[in-house]
Amino acid sequence: MAKENTQEKLDDVQQPNRRGFVRGAACTISGIAIFVPVAASVPVVLDPVGRKREPGGSSFTRLCKVSDLTTGIPEKFSILEDKTDKWSRYKDAPIGSVYVLKQSEDDPPKLTVFSTICTHLGCSVNYRGHVPDPDFYCPCHNSRFELKTGKPMNNTPPRALDVLNIDSEKLASQGEVWVEYKRFKTNSRDQEDA
């Protein structure tokens, strides 16, 4: 009997402790349940603020040294950019490509940077070095463009290949080619930002 009384007393003492533990655990779990979705939403809310530049925005990208180029032969370069969406970061994701044509041996040389986007409907043009008539050629609907000027060589494309801006200061002072990569609307006579 005395043993039973002792057990009852022990239960009375332990009961509030157990209730306290259960209450504490419930608070912790509900706290996590509220905090996690809120924390996850913070980058989404801040995303437009934190992004380095808006898609379609422009900045200069380093391509090469002038000494890497051969006069008269266009060199193709990919344009890479770190991209971030709501969930992932992509380092050096390709966003386009260009042809750089060194057109003279002057110092600094005359350079032209062409977008590889065909102005007809947006496929990619390829350099064809066949002599005596080298060109940029689009296999989708057979558009041809002059090598030196990018002007159309048949009636398919509505305008010349798009020429991109070069950082002339870096070209003159450092002998480096930096380009301002941009996209323009296709299937239009006029060059308009895409």
Identify whether 132 is preceded by a cis peptide bond (ω within 30 of 0): yes
- Region of 76-84, 86-94, 113-121, 158-166 interacting with ligand FES (CB under 6 A): 113-121
3-state secondary structure the chain: CHHHHHHHHHHHHHHHHHHHHHHHHHHHHHHHHHHHHHHHHHHHHHHHHHCCCCCCCCCEEEEEEHHHCECCECEEEEEEEEEECCCCEEEEEEEEEEEEEECCCCCCCCEEEEECECCCCCCECEEECCCCCCEEEECCCCEEEECCCCCECCCCCCCCCCECEECHHHHHHHCEEEEECCCECCCCCCCCEC
Tell me the C-alpha distance between 100 and 112, whole Å: 6
Q: Which of residues 66, 80, 123, 171 is near ligand FES by CB under 6 A?
A: 123
Q: Does 138 bind ligand FES (CB under 6 A)?
A: yes
Q: Does 76 bind ligand FES (CB under 6 A)?
A: no
Q: Does 44 bind ligand FES (CB under 6 A)?
A: no
Tell me the C-alpha distance between 78 and 62, whole Å: 11
Residues near ligand FES (CB under 6 A), total:
10
Q: Which is nearer to ligand FES, 134 or 175 (CB)?
A: 134
Q: Which is nearer to ligand FES, 64 or 163 (CB)?
A: 163
Tell me the C-alpha distance between 113 and 75, whole Å: 9
- Region of 51-59, 78-86, 119-127, 147-155 interacting with ligand FES (CB under 6 A): 119-127
Q: Does 61 bind ligand FES (CB under 6 A)?
A: no
Q: Does 159 bind ligand FES (CB under 6 A)?
A: no
Q: Does 117 bind ligand FES (CB under 6 A)?
A: no
Q: Does 140 bind ligand FES (CB under 6 A)?
A: yes
Shortest distance, position 161 Cβ to ligand FES, whole Å: 11
Q: Does 97 bind ligand FES (CB under 6 A)?
A: no
Q: Which of residues 61, 115, 116, 143 is near ligand FES by CB under 6 A?
A: 143
- Which residues in this chain contact ligand FES in the complex, by CB under 6 A? 118, 120-123, 138, 140-141, 143, 156
